[in-house]
Structures are given as structure tokens and as C-alpha cells.
Amino acid sequence: MLLTLDCADQPGITAQVTTFLFERGCNILDAQQFRDPSSDRFFMRVAFDPAAHGPDDLREAFEALGKSFGMDWSITAQDRARRVIIMVSKFDHCLVDLLYRRRTGELAIDPVAIVSNHPRDVAIHDDIGDIPFHHIPVTTPTKPEAEARLRALAEETGAELIILARYMQIFSDEQSAHFAGRCINIHHSFLPGFKGARPYGQAHERGVKIIGATAHFVTGDLDEGPIIHQDVERISHADSAADLVRKGRDIERRVLAEAVRLFCEERVLLNGKRTVIFRG
Amino acid sequence: MLLTLDCADQPGITAQVTTFLFERGCNILDAQQFRDPSSDRFFMRVAFDPAAHGPDDLREAFEALGKSFGMDWSITAQDRARRVIIMVSKFDHCLVDLLYRRRTGELAIDPVAIVSNHPRDVAIHDDIGDIPFHHIPVTTPTKPEAEARLRALAEETGAELIILARYMQIFSDEQSAHFAGRCINIHHSFLPGFKGARPYGQAHERGVKIIGATAHFVTGDLDEGPIIHQDVERISHADSAADLVRKGRDIERRVLAEAVRLFCEERVLLNGKRTVIFRG
Amino acid sequence: MLLTLDCADQPGITAQVTTFLFERGCNILDAQQFRDPSSDRFFMRVAFDPAAHGPDDLREAFEALGKSFGMDWSITAQDRARRVIIMVSKFDHCLVDLLYRRRTGELAIDPVAIVSNHPRDVAIHDDIGDIPFHHIPVTTPTKPEAEARLRALAEETGAELIILARYMQIFSDEQSAHFAGRCINIHHSFLPGFKGARPYGQAHERGVKIIGATAHFVTGDLDEGPIIHQDVERISHADSAADLVRKGRDIERRVLAEAVRLFCEERVLLNGKRTVIFRG
Amino acid sequence: MLLTLDCADQPGITAQVTTFLFERGCNILDAQQFRDPSSDRFFMRVAFDPAAHGPDDLREAFEALGKSFGMDWSITAQDRARRVIIMVSKFDHCLVDLLYRRRTGELAIDPVAIVSNHPRDVAIHDDIGDIPFHHIPVTTPTKPEAEARLRALAEETGAELIILARYMQIFSDEQSAHFAGRCINIHHSFLPGFKGARPYGQAHERGVKIIGATAHFVTGDLDEGPIIHQDVERISHADSAADLVRKGRDIERRVLAEAVRLFCEERVLLNGKRTVIFRG
């Protein structure tokens, strides 16, 4: 079982939370606590053996303690597959990678829908099995309606996470706010470097020696959400812009998959414009 | 203040330890707990604000709790410089690096002695300020006596850590046992690959594409102690054996410095033949 | 067009080869020369604009020059898809990855056959389109016959490269010799570290902090062929043996794909027990 | 001996250059050629055994060929120590590192002067042996005079390279132009990310997961010169701004040392706003 929480810092949080677990016969397997000195906020993640308890049981019992500290908290079964909606535009390498890792058991995700602003045969060139595909086109006048459809779909399917797997449409501020903390985007660039639409072209022109990718939560500003994971690759003068795209694709799918894994394992806690990542 | 502990696992350890801290007004800043499923042992590190308490005060109070769980534990002031003995033979790049990082405040070490099996002018080509230098030659017949001298020196100086900074003499089993858990060696190889005296030569002959270095605790078997930190570097066919030595030197000093830092910050806990590293 | 060659070193090789190209109006785009001081052998790779010439044309013209220097050489069209046979046992992550990269144009391979020692539904859990699948079971008594079938298949299909994509059968010495220099294996370990069948288990027991994978040419000794590419990933005490397998899988497919790419771009030249890799 | 050159591309450059070497009995040991398709410029580096020839001898002979192709070229003895001026402000970690690597023979540099805008005891806290130290203060009114002093010093000492080893004064456009292609700066940031004076502070605020450093040639725009080398390090939420500075320092000195090594081995060729790096 997993317990995560964050709240304004004060002495005694860990003592009271772990005493709560101890009194119910739960045994801690792996836990981390962190106080951010700049925000004076406390973060905690506990993986524990729940003994005979189920999540509902523990949630009800934890309610009062959570309230007394003003916590954001969750108790959830470990290794439970998270219901996710995966969104793509025309590049499906991240989608294919996520589905492959799901099939091998690396990622505990349950894709309840795949959504694209393009038709099925344009968006995806691979077998997606029996995962429902939804074509939700987006044009300037239809954007509000398209966003409403996504929200409805998320509602119906009980989606816990929206994965923008190279989805090239920018969410409105309302949409970003609606999915705050449960929508991950892969930015095909090592932020805060080359923003915008063609970072590999810019990287090539500038002659950089390293490129990277960034997975982050979506906020109103597409390129500025709290960063979850980043990685880089070395390049050389002999790499053409096309080579950078190839190398970049590999980083993108690796970085996105890692960010999704961290999220599904409840290792990502929001800390204002930043994140606390409990890697264990 | 830092509290570290490990003991056979059972429910309630974290609850009782953090309640102990809470009752004394201490506030947790950064903490980690880990239960190793293979050894069924529990490990914990807590950095906390000690309020008005000093380390002696807290140690005395913690005694009973530590005993009741059969813990190995320590309470120690944070950022306090650890008294270290640095040992070298003929290559001083790791020594120079450690001293530089100490000077800049990166490493909280207080070198109480530098020891070499070679004379001062052979062993070191750099300024060591007023750190006492001890030439302790080692030959087969004098080895027991030389090892006794080191133990005496460690005793006199109150050394908390012995750093083998490319010290090329192998400790006897008795010496290794004497300094168990407080003697770090840098092995100029990516273990468990090329052991022995000339790993870079072997790596070159074998045509490997990556070389590395390993910092580990010293045990009877020089190349087999619990690993603390490792790092690697990419090489190519164009690298001569001499190039590998150059690149290796850079990895060695980086890896050793990181291992010493982890040790000084009480982030390294022994777990049988392995280590638990709480990176924070 | 690509020209690669190697021969015993002597002055004038580059001069004569590049003069040959210049006289035919060919323009050099990217080239490398390397003399290995330990083997006294010379290696060269030239990517050039062939003007009006085709490969056959240039091959015929180069014949005499190649002979005069005793060269191993090849002239081949650039970006031409190499005919490959991909062999798998029960883990298909490397196969899936290779096929995906082929589909996106990252890898210029033309899979003429997929071969497994297990039936189709055991070996592969993904769509392989219209690539012919061959089930060639291997038992001790049938091994010679099974190996003969593979040689015949390679012959019929004109396969230029055999990719052992986690194929768990060991080639006989005859088979290894037959495919020398055109059969790449991915070893699920950072050689020369943990050899044998369960390197991740060994890595976990030993408490190493970095794991890796190695792509190499197959020789009689499965784990000792000339190394083409290696990569590593950082691990921690919290990684179970299962986590190492997951991280290892990701490294394996990355390392194998890169080795295949290097091979297809004629960037890999054999140098006795080692390789020269012209990365460009 | 080393020959490097670049010129507008046309067929026959390699053929004529290597024939020139062959006719003089020189034997190629390691060479690379590269044509940049975007600038249509050709780059070449040749390490060769010069037989009985000295550099002056070969330079005179090469003059005509160089002129006929309009080449920028140089012929220089290999492993000859380059005369360098090292400039520092208040952080001497890069300086200390360069001097250490020189002492161990890793870097073939001959420091003809150390220059700081601060007095000796403010700028440097380490032994610099008998290398002349020059305090050249810089204020807005005295800047032209200070820059003239540096140019004069470079002239007198025959400095081939100016190394800005965390020198915090910005060169005027004239000064940058004067030292174009022979002045390397270490920027304590992974460009093009956080420019400006406090990149680690910015990186911390933004919550990035990777930091880096960039070594580049100095141009009028301090942060925009052609990039020679970059490297990165992983960071976490637990790293304070001070931790980033510590980790950054380690990257900085590593990246600068590598850039200086590449320069001294004539592996860096300017290509407009970018560089060609022949790593060999």
C-alpha cells in the first residue's frame, strides 16, 4: 500500500503518521520525508505492508489525521494499474513505447482511451489492440467543444492521468487547470533551453553538444510546468538536424516512460512550480 | 543533527524513533527508511533540527530505545568535519582532489594525517599545508609492525575514516577487520570487471567501450568490499592505454570524493556485503 | 556511397584511395582514417558523393588498388536497407524495438526472416507484419541440423547480418566461424563483468551501483566477441532483481539498436579481437 | 605532427593533401575529414609521422597548396605544450584543476601568465609555483587600458590561448575580436538554458533535474560563442542552491579541462557560429 502526503511543516507529522500505521499493524517497507526549506512544506511517501487492511478502510481511518494537519494525502494500492488516457498527434513513438512497456509489465497503466486530433490511420501506425480510439479534431472555433469532450471522456472512463505523448495541441488555461497535477507532457527539448516548435533545428543551428527532453506537468504555459524528469544525449557536429530528431525521439520516449512510471508509483509530489521526486 | 540506525525489521521502528524526536521538540528535515527484503533488515537516516538539544544529550536519551530494538545507531552533528587519515602510494591525484574539495568547503573532512608507504617527496608533489605526513614503509617482514603503527595513529588522532586514495598496499585480514566500515578504497576499475593491478591495460586489450571506477569499503578481499559508488566514462578505439589511465584518473578522483562525501554525511549504511545509500 | 577498408599499414594508402576517388569525380563528405599502433593495421571509412558512378562500376575499378594493398574492402550504396535475420527466444523487447525503429526510418534494415527456437506464439507477442517467421527448434541431437537450416536460410535470403536479439542458444564454433563479422549478439550484462545466464541476479547480490549491456560480434566464446557498443544505467539499493531486469531491458534494446545502426552504416571494422568504430 | 585545415569544399582536397604527405614520406596515423552540408565547407585534421621533416620545413612546402585552395591551415608539432594565459576572478577551482592536470602530464599547457582582476591573495588560494601573476584591475573607465595590457601581455609571452577560468569580466567587442578563436570561456550553465549571472539559482527555482556547463569560444556576446564542449549532472529536489554550486563546480572544471585539451590537440575547428570537433 502507498501513502503520500504533503502539508505545511510542523514537528510531529512523521511521528503521528507512522504511529497511525504502527497501531494498525502496518509495517513500513520504504519511506521518505522531505521538508522544503524554501516553501516550508513537508512531503512524505510511505510504502507499507497493510497487514489485513484494505485501502478504503485505511482511508476512512486516516481522514481525521489528514484534516488536522491540513494535508493533501492519498492512500492507494501498490502496483494497481492506473487508468490513463494517451493523447497523440502524428508521432506515435511515445505511444508505442508506453504500450510496449505496459505489455511487458514495466508500466502499471490501463489505457482507457487513446485520443488524437488526427484520424486513426494518420495518428497511429501500430496495433493498439482493443483500446478505444477517439478522434477529437481541434480547430480554433471547435477548441472549447473539443476540450469539453476530453473532460467528459476523462470523467466517463475514470482516467487518473492524461499523457500527452507528443500531442501537439496546446491546452487552454481552463483545460490545464482542470487537469492540474494529473496531465504529463513530454517536451521535445531540454528545457529551459530551446522552447517552441522546432528545438532540434535550433539546437543544430546553435551547435550544441548535448540535446535532451523534459517531462513535466501541464500548466497554462505549455513549456513551464513543474518538471518531473529530464535526460540528455551527446551529439556531434556530424549530426544533421534529422539525426537530432532520431536521437531526440529515443530520449523522448525514455523520459516520458520514466515520468509515467514515477507518477504511477506515487513518487511525484507537487511543490508549487517544482516537484519532489521520491525515487527510493 | 543526524540520526542513522539499522536493525532487524519489525513494525513500529519509525513510529517510536520519530515519536522520540517529536517529544523532544526536534523537527525532521529529511529522512528515509528502507527495509531490505532479502536481509529483512531495516535502515533509517534522519536529518533533523535538534531544537535546543546537543548530540550527547540526545545520545544518552536514545540509548534505551536503541537497545530495545538491537540497533546499530549513531547521532552526530551535521556538517561536523570528520577526522580522516588519507593514505597514498605514488599517485596523488585523489589526495590533491580531496584536499582541494576540503578547502572549498565541498567536503567536511579534517585530515589528521597523510600516510604513505613511500617518502614524502615520492608520494606527493603538491603542497599539503600543515597536515602531518607519516612515512610508514611496508615490506613483507615489517607489514605487521607497519599495520600496528597505522592502528596506533588512528587511535591517537581519533580518525573516523581511513581513505585509501590510491594506496597500493593490501591490508591484512586483521587490519581490514579492524577498520571494517570505516575504511574506503578507490578501485581503479569498474568492478566486477577487470580486477587486479592493471585494469586499464586489460580494458584496452579487450576493446571495451566504457571504463569506470569503484569506491568500496575495505574487507579482507581488496576488490570485493561493499560498493559505495561507481561511475564510468566512454572510451573509443583511438584511446591508447595511456589515454585510459588519464580518463581513469578523472573518474577515480570523482568517485572517491563522492564516496567520502556520502560517508561524511552519514548516507552510507552497511548491509552485509552491500550498502544502503540514502542520497536524499 | 560508402567505402571501407583495412589493411596492413604503409605510407600512401589514403593518398592513393582518395586520388582514386578524385579522378572519378567523387567528392568526400565524411571520412576517417586510423592506424592501430598495436596491430599496425590501417582502417578507413569514406562517405562520398559518387557523381555519376554506381557501386558495381566503382567496385570493378577499385579491384586492382584493393589487391595491391592486400585490403579487406567494400563499396556500398549509402542508406540501402541491409537484409537481416533477427533471432529471438522468449523475450521480444529487442525485436519489437528493432522493428519499430525500422518502421520510423531510424534503422535501414530489411528483415528477411525472424527465427526462433520457440514457436511463434511463445517467442513473439507483437505484430510482425508480413516478415516470414521460422521456428527452428534446437536440441542437443538436432543442433547441427538446426544450424544448417539457419545457414541455408541466410544463403537463400541473402542475409547480410544475423541479429541475436536475446536469442538464448549458443552457436557452435563452426556456426560462429561461418557468420564471423556478420552476427551481432546483445549480452545482457556489462562485460567483462557478470557473465553467464543471470547477470542481473549477480549484480543485485553483489550490490553494484551501475548495470549495463554489451553488443558484440559473435565468436566461439559467446561472451568474448569483439565489442561494438556498451551502455550503462545507475541503480540503487532499492532496486530489486526485478527492477534490474526492467532497467536492463531498456539498456539492452538501446545498445543493440545502436550496434545495428553502426553496422548498417558501415561504421564497424573488425580489428582482431577488438573493433574500430568510426562514429563520424 | 598535426595538420589541420578548412576551406570551401571542392573535390580533390584530401587527395592532394595526403599525396603531399605521401610524397614526403609522411605516414598518416589518425585523420578525419568532414564536409558541412549547411556551410559547404571542408574540414580536415591529420596526425602523421613526419619522417625526417620538421614543422618549418613542411609549412614552407605546404604554402602553395594551402593558398591554391584558400585554406585556413596549420602544421604543428604534436604534444608540444601550448603557451596559455589563465584568467581568474575569485573562484580558483578551474585554475587549480588546470594546473594539476598540467603537472600530471594530462594537459600539454605552458602557463606563461595568470591574470586576475583581483589581487593575488583574493584570486588564488593555492600554490602557483613560479608562474607569473598579473593583477590587472578592471573598472569602467580603465577597461580599455586593462584590455590593452592583456593584449600586450599576450603579445610579449607569445600566448596561443587565453583561458577564462571563471573570469567574470566581459570582454569588449574589440577584445573578443582580437582573440577570436583563441580564447575559451567556461560558462557555468548548460547553455542555451540559464544565461546570466546566477544560473544555479535560476535552475533551483525552476526545479530542473539536470544542470550543466558549457565551454565555448569567446565572441562579442559572452554567452553565445561557438560551443566546444558541454556536460551535465543529475540533481534532485533535495539539492539546495548551494549543492548546485558544488556540483556545478565539478562540471565546470571537467568541461573546461576537456575543452582546453581538445584545443591543444588541434581537435577544434571553427565553423562560423559552430565548431567541428574531431575527437579521434
pLDDT for D111-126, tens place per residue?
A: 999 999 999 998 888 8
User: How many Cβ atoms are within 10 Å of A79's Cβ, its own excluded?
Assistant: 9
Give the 3-state secondary structure of residue C272. coil
Contacting chains of A (3 CB pairs or more, <8 Å) are B, C, D
φ, ψ of residue C185 to 5 degrees: the values are -115, 145
Q: How confident is the model at residue B255 (pLDDT cuts 50, 70, 90)?
A: very high
The string of DSSP letters for A82-137 reads EEEEEEESS--HHHHHHHHHHHTTSS-EEEEEEEESS-HHHH--S--TT--EEE--
- Residue B193: the pLDDT is 61
Per-residue model confidence (pLDDT) at position D262 = 96
Cell output for C73:
574492402
Interface B–C counts its CB contacts (< 8 A) at: 85
B239 is catalytic: no
pTM: 0.93
Q: Are B163 and B260 in contact (CB under 8 A)?
A: yes
- Statement: residue B201 has pLDDT above 80: no
C243 touches chain B (CB under 8 A): no
Alpha helices in chain C (DSSP H): 13-23, 55-69, 93-103, 120-123, 143-157, 173-178, 199-206, 241-264
Render pLDDT for C68-93 as a digit per residue (tens, 0 to 9). Answer: 999 999 999 988 999 999 999 998 99
Quote the CA–CA distance of D138 and D89 in Å, as a whole number: 11
Q: Which residues contact B188 (CB under 8 A, 6 or more apart)?
A: B166, B199, B200, B213, B248, B252
What's residue D68's pLDDT? Answer: 97
C-alpha torsion sign, points A207, A209, A213, A214: negative
Kindly list the residues from chain A whose CB atom is less than 8 angstroms away from the CB atom of residue C254: 250
CB contact under 8 A, A127 and C125: no
Q: Please check whether residue C61 is in contact with residue C50, taking contact to mean a CB–CB distance below 8 angstroms.
A: no
The whole-angstrom distance between B237's CA and the closest CA on chain C is 5
Contacts of D236 in chain B (CB under 8 A): 279-280
The nearest CA of chain B is from the CA of A55 a distance in Å of 19
Average model confidence (pLDDT) across chain C: 92
Query: Catalytic residue positions of D?
Result: 223
Q: How far is CA C55 from the centre of its chain?
A: 22
Interchain proximity A236–C279, CB inside 8 Å = yes
Using CB atoms, pick whichever of A12, A26, A42 lies closest to residue B22: A12
Strands D41-49 and D27-36: antiparallel
Read off the pLDDT band of B130 (50, 70, 90): very high
Q: Among B103-107, B163-167, D181-185, where is mean pLDDT lowest?
A: B103-107
Taking contacts as CB-CB distances below 8 angstroms, the residues of chain D near A275 are 207, 237
What's the mean per-residue pLDDT of chain B?
92
At residue A219 the predicted structure's pLDDT band, cuts being 50, 70 and 90, is confident
Residue C209 in contact with partner chain B when CB distance is under 8 A: yes
Quick one: which of D92, D259, D73 has its CA closest to D183? D259
d(CA A90, CA A79): 31
Whether A199 has its CB under 8 Å from any CB of chain D: the answer is: no
CB atoms within 10 A of CB C140: 6
Whether residue A30 lies within 8 A of chain B, CB to CB, comes out as yes
Task: Tell me the shortest Cα–Cα distance from C34 to chain B, in angstroms.
Answer: 8
Name the band, by pLDDT with cuts 50, 70 and 90, for residue B204: confident
Question: How many beta-carbon pairs below 8 A join chains B and D?
Answer: 33
By Cβ distance, the residue of A22, A42, A280 closest to B15 is A22
- Which is nearest to D15 in space by CA: C272, C198, C13, A151? C13
How far is D43 from D280, CA to CA, in rounded Å? 14
pLDDT digits (tens, 9 = 90+) for A195-217: 566 777 777 877 889 988 999 99
Beta-carbon count within 10 A of B242 CB: 11
Residues whose CB is less than 8 angstroms from the CB of residue D141 and which lie 6 or more positions away in sequence, other chains included: none
The one catalytic residue among B9, B36, B223, B231? B223
Active-site position among C9, C36, C110, C223? C223
Residues 71-100 of C with CB under 8 A from B: none
Structure ipTM: 0.90
Q: Contact partners of B by the rule of 3+ C-beta pairs under 8 A?
A: A, C, D
Average pLDDT score, chain D: 92
- Tens of pLDDT, residues D165-221: 999 999 999 999 999 999 999 987 765 565 566 777 777 877 889 988 999 999 876
Residue B194 has pLDDT above 60, yes or no: no
Task: Please answer yes or no on whether B207 and C273 come within 8 Å at the CB atom.
Answer: yes
What local confidence, expressed as pLDDT, does residue C247 receive?
86
C-alpha B82/C-alpha B64 separation (Å) is 26
Q: What is the pLDDT of residues A41-90, one digit of tens each?
A: 999 999 999 999 999 999 999 999 999 999 999 999 988 999 999 999 99
Read off the pLDDT of residues C111-146 as tens digits, 9 standing for 90 and up.
999 999 999 998 888 888 899 999 999 999 999 999
- Describe the crossing of helices B241-264 and B199-206 by its angle, rounded to 10 degrees: 130
Helix ranges (H only) for chain D are 13-23, 55-69, 93-103, 120-123, 143-157, 173-178, 199-206, 241-264
Residue A242: CB atoms within 10 Å: 12
3-state SS class at C8: strand
Q: Which residue of A has its CA nearest to C280?
A: A238
Residue A28 has pLDDT above 80, yes or no: yes
pLDDT in tens, B81-100: 999 999 999 989 999 999 98
Percent of chain D with pLDDT over 90: 73
- Minimal CA separation from D219 to chain A, in Å: 14
Mean local confidence (pLDDT), C226-255: 90
Residue D270 has pLDDT above 80, yes or no: yes
Domains of chain A: 2-76 (3.30.70.260), 82-264 (3.40.50.170)
**What confidence tier does C190 reach under pLDDT thresholds 50, 70, 90?**
low
Among C6, C33, C44, C210, most B C-beta atoms within 10 A, so best to mutate, is C210
Q: Quote the pLDDT of residue A197.
A: 65
pLDDT band, very low/low/confident/very high, at D222 (cuts 50, 70, 90) = low
Tell me what pLDDT residue C171 has.
Answer: 94
Nearest-angstrom CA–CA distance, D178 and B60: 68
Q: What is the mean pLDDT of residues C101-105?
A: 87
Q: How far is C120 from chain B (nearest CA, A)?
A: 35
| Tens digits of residue pLDDT in A129-170 | 899 999 999 999 999 999 999 999 999 999 999 999 999 999
Indicate yes or no: CB of C209 within 8 angstroms of CB of B232: no
Q: What is the pLDDT of residue C223?
A: 64
Chain C hits for B232, CB-CB cut-off 8 Å, are 210, 212, 232
Q: Is cis: bond before C37, omega within 30 of 0?
A: no
